[in-house]
């Protein structure tokens, strides 16, 4: 019996056993919130304080009996849209969340499916998915709620090379994802050069993921929006925690300074420069394959790598109707390595290094004008730096490369809600994005510095409708962008429509037009030491045009007795992409051409929840093709991110204080280009066959994880977790390309995925 078969059998037994164990569960009827609060008060020996009008008319299912108090409060928040704040061990205050920013108010819509896949993931009627790290359940291979790893469990979202900094959403490249942190665009999303999310989940309250039909408030992001938001409420009871795993240690704090001021802090630092672990070894092998660090011909080298992130949020409630929120986040990666070589009988040691950082700052003022109108204003800054110094001892050469982004802007938003069925959201946004790229070589002397600046003015308006019966939900909006430098206007309509029928069925229609002025390109595969080779650029409206997208999708969903069956078909077209942004490693690697891609696909998912067990199976079928008029005679050919078939199978179980999860991911391999079989090399060039004419072998990975929660004292909670990524240690090839060696013959390069990768964590919550 091989290892893969063993994993399947283990999963099957686990699934059936869990299913049988909970098969007796009976679906409960909805109850009033008032009656549920009385039950919770008795069960957990606490007292709720609230205004009667705030809870009147709210109906929901009672929370499961096995939840902790914090998980119960999270569940009630999710189902009601109210804020449940723990004042002390026995007192909870319930408040309206009207002081939240106006974007959050847009998303307080009916929940389609709660605890989707696992606890903490919710489907909304406007087509978005909401992830709440607080009270999060468990997913296969994860022991902490890593936001960007979590969303890969959703259909049509995956990373073809296992890096969260290279997320492919419906066939798009990572730079086509708009990643926001408290309304600020982030240009760096990962630590360890893409294997770990750079955002602390313990201060992130909500994550909104939109693949289509997004709000008109969002610019950029022609493939998706990933909107991360920290809590806008002052914690009246101090809440803190510390944790450690085999890669990093972290700490966070949330509390009040006084009754009008609050503070949220977090810090995380890697342990990789202090000692090595099996997890670090696997990460190192995965990221630094075929880079300057591992391809060096020097005698010896000594690498040092570490990362950290620090965030802070200051909350000031000026009055019951006014508040100010100030945010700061700094993300940092650092790689240094010494190279020693003997040149002309002299030992030389030089230091090559790579640093990557993203600093985000923002200040937001929120005001409630009356019970129908809320306004907000935000000033923000996002500063990204990627710096590399690369020494080539043997050729006596030093190369300096820099990529810098400075993004500043203003957002003015207003929300008007005349009644319970209509909601208006609109505003004005201004952004100025400046991007520079530097290359400096000492031998031969060469220096090139390029800098571009774009200023964009945007006005957006949208109206949301929700029928009193909640059977019909719709949102329609339009965004207008004016780019000063080009004197051009872009109109971007968006819509989402959801209609429930026959009690348990729902049809969903989504559509959008979008444009994007920033993207990432690759000049040479060994740029920035070959580790983080993509660099940000801004459109010049000629060789790098403004990217445009059109997308439409239609879905049919069935949801009854915790059984969800969902099918969604979509078509997306993205124009004005460049070959340099697609990472070609074939005959088009050094060609600059402009083209488009079209992807058609169907996503199918079945998710069954039985008490504390959630099991799911998803299948995605898609066809993703390029069209470049100047390449391949203008004919279509497969996209570099064309993954035709993808299957995700998983199950998570919560039993008392123990959480377990197991899952399997399978997908077809992405395309690559073979050299011509009869004449592979001409001089120093490879003669390639038709572009992307072959596919890498299929990808298969099985993961498991477990978390156990326990108490260290009456006020201190703790948890320990263990996970195994790629349990069977399968050798998956994630990229294939060819180079020419010294004998003028081809050399096939195959990059491997992570092998079996363990991780262990221990956390304490105060």
Residue 730 gets which letter from DSSP?
-
Answer whether 754's CB lies under 8 Å from 283's CB: yes
DSSP 533-544: --EEEE--SSSS
Answer whether 165's CB lies under 8 Å from 189's CB: yes
Note every long-range contact of 31-40, with CB atoms under 8 Å and residues 24 or more positions apart, other chains counting. 31/59, 31/60, 31/61, 31/62, 32/58, 32/59, 33/58, 33/59, 33/60, 33/76, 33/80, 36/60, 36/62, 36/63, 36/76, 40/72, 40/76
Below-70 pLDDT ranges, the chain = 1-29, 65-66, 87-89, 97-103, 105-112, 296-301, 342-346
Q: Of how many residues is the chain composed?
A: 766
pLDDT of residue 296: 65
Element (H, E) at 295: helix 292-295
Tokens of 468: 């009193």
* Residue 439 to residues 228, 401, 641, Cα–Cα distance (Å): 34, 5, 29
DSSP 190-221: EETTTTEESS-TTSEEEEEEESSS--TT--S-
H-state helical runs in 22-117: 33-44, 52-55, 69-80, 102-106
* Architecture of the domain spanning 230-765: Beta Barrel (2.40)
Torsion angle in degrees (nearest 10) through CA of 151, 155, 157, 161: 100
Computed from CA positions of residues 281, 285, 291, 293, in that sequence, does the dihedral angle turn out positive or negative?
Answer: positive
Residue-range domain boundaries for the chain: 230-765
Answer whether 198's CB lies under 8 Å from 238's CB: no
Q: What is the distance between the alpha carbons of residues 644 and 646, in angstroms, rounded to a whole number?
A: 7
pLDDT of residue 106: 44
Task: Please report, in angstroms and rounded to a whole number, the separation of the first and last CA atoms in the chain.
Answer: 47
The bridge status of strand 505-516 relative to strand 547-560 is antiparallel
- Count Cβ neighbours within 10 Å for each residue of 579-612 and write b for 16 or more, e otherwise: bbbbbbbbbbbeeebbbbbbbbbbbbbebbbbbb
Q: What is the distance between the alpha carbons of residues 392 and 395, in angstroms, rounded to a whole number?
A: 6
Element (H, E) at 437: strand 422-442
Tokens of 43: 């069960």
Residue 575 gets which letter from DSSP?
E
Element (H, E) at 12: helix 3-21
pLDDT digits (tens, 9 = 90+) for 392-439: 877 788 999 999 999 999 999 999 999 889 999 999 999 999 999 999
DSSP 343-410: ETTEEEEEEEEEEEEEEEEEEEEEEE-SSSEEEEEEEEEEEEEEEEEEEETTTTEEEEEEEEEEEEEE
The beta strands (E) that lie in 696-732 are given as: 699-711, 717-725
The bridge status of strand 300-317 relative to strand 746-752 is unpaired
Tokens of 618: 């998803």
Omega before residue 444 within 30° of 0, cis = yes
Rg (CA), the chain: 26
Tell how far CA 616 is from the center of its chain: 21
- Measured N-to-C along each axis, helices 69-80 and 33-44 cross at an angle, to the nearest 10 degrees, of 170
Q: What is the distance between the alpha carbons of residues 587 and 578, in angstroms, rounded to a whole number?
A: 15
* DSSP 3-state of 460: strand
pLDDT of residue 10: 43
Q: Can you state the percent helix, strand and coil of the chain, rounding each to 5? A: 10, 55, 35
Omega before residue 169 within 30° of 0, cis = no
Give the up-direction half-sphere exposure of residue 75: CA atoms within 13 A in the CB hemisphere.
22
Tokens of 365: 């003022």
Tokens 């989707």, residue located: 116
Q: What is the distance between the alpha carbons of residues 511 and 57, in angstroms, rounded to a whole number?
A: 33
Tokens 């199950």, residue located: 651
Tokens of 644: 């035709």
Q: Phi/psi at 172 (nearest 5 deg)?
A: -85, 165
Residue 234 gets which letter from DSSP?
-
């Amino acid at each position: 019996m091989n290892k893969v078969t063993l994993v399947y059998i283990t999963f099957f037994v686990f699934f059936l056993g869990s299913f049988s164990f909970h098969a007796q569960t009976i679906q409960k009827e909805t109850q009033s919130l008032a009656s549920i609060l009385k039950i919770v008060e008795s069960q957990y020996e606490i007292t709720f304080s609230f205004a009667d009008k705030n809870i009147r008319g709210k109906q929901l299912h009672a929370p499961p009996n096995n939840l902790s108090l914090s998980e119960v409060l999270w569940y009630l928040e999710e189902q009601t849209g109210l804020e449940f704040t723990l004042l002390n061990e026995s007192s909870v205050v319930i408040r309206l969340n009207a002081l939240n920013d106006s974007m959050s108010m847009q998303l307080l819509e009916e929940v389609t499916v709660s605890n989707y896949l696992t606890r903490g993931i919710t489907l909304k009627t406007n087509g978005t998915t909401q992830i709440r790290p607080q009270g999060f359940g468990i997913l296969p291979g994860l022991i902490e709620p890593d936001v960007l790893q979590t969303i890969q469990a959703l259909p049509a979202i995956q990373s073809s090379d296992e890096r969260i900094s290279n997320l492919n959403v419906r066939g798009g490249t990572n730079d086509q994802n708009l990643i926001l942190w408290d309304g600020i665009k982030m240009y760096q999303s990962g630590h360890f050069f893409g294997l770990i999310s750079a955002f602390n989940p313990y201060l992130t309250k909500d994550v909104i993921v939109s693949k289509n039909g997004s709000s008109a408030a969002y610019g950029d992001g022609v493939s998706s929006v990933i909107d991360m938001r920290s809590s806008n409420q002052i914690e009246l009871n101090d809440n803190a925690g510390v944790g450690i795993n085999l890669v990093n240690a972290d700490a966070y704090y949330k509390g009040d300074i006084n009754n009008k001021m609050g503070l949220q802090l977090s810090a995380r630092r890697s342990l990789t420069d202090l000692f090595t672990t099996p997890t670090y070894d696997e990460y190192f092998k995965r990221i630094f394959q075929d880079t300057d660090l591992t391809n060096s011909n020097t005698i010896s080298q000594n690498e040092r790598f570490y990362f950290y992130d620090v965030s802070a949020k200051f909350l000031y409630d000026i009055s019951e109707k006014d508040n100010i929120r100030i945010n700061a986040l700094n993300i940092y990666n650092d790689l240094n390595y010494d190279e020693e070589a003997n040149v002309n009988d002299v030992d030389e040691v030089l230091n090559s290094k790579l640093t990557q950082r993203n600093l985000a700052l923002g200040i937001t003022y929120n005001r409630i004008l009356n019970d129908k109108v809320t306004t907000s204003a935000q000033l923000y800054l996002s500063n990204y730096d990627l710096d590399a110094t690369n020494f080539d001892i043997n050729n006596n050469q030093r190369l300096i490369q820099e990529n810098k982004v400075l993004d500043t802007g203003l957002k003015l938003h207003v929300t008007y809600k005349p009644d319970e069925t209509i909601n208006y959201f609109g505003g004005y946004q201004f952004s100025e994005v400046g991007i520079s790229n530097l290359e400096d070589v000492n031998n031969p002397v060469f220096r090139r510095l390029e800098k571009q600046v774009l200023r964009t003015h945007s006005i957006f308006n949208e109206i949301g409708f929700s029928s009193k019966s909640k059977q019909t939900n719709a949102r329609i909006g339009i965004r207008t962008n004016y780019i000063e430098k080009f004197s051009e206007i872009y109109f971007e309509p968006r819509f989402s429509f959801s209609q429930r029928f026959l009690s348990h069925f729902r049809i969903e229609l989504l559509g959008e037009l979008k444009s994007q002025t920033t993207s990432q390109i690759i000049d040479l595969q060994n740029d920035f030491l070959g580790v983080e080779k993509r660099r940000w650029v801004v459109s010049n409206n000629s060789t790098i045009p403004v990217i445009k997208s059109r997308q439409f999708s239609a879905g049919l969903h069935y949801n009854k007795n915790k059984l969800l069956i969902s099918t969604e078909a979509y078509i997306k077209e993205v124009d004005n992409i460049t070959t340099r942004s697609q990472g070609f490693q074939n005959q088009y690697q050094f060609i600059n051409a402009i083209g488009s891609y079209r992807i058609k696909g169907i996503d199918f998912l079945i998710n069954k929840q039985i008490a504390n067990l959630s099991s799911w199976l998803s299948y995605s079928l898609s066809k993703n093709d390029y069209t470049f008029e100047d390449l391949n005679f203008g004919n279509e050919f497969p996209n570099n991110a064309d993954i035709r078939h993808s299957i995700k199978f998983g199950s998570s179980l919560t039993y008392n204080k123990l959480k377990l999860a197991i899952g399997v991911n399978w997908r077809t391999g992405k395309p690559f280009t073979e050299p011509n079989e009869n004449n592979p090399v001409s001089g120093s060039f490879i003669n390639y066959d038709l572009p992307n004419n072959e596919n890498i072998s299929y990808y298969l990975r099985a993961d498991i994880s477990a978390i156990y929660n326990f108490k260290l004292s009456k006020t201190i909670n703790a948890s320990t977790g263990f996970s195994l990524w790629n349990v069977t240690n399968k050798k998956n090839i994630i990229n294939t390309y060819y180079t020419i060696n010294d004998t003028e013959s081809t050399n096939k390069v195959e990059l491997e995925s992570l092998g079996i990768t363990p991780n262990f964590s221990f956390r304490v919550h105060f």
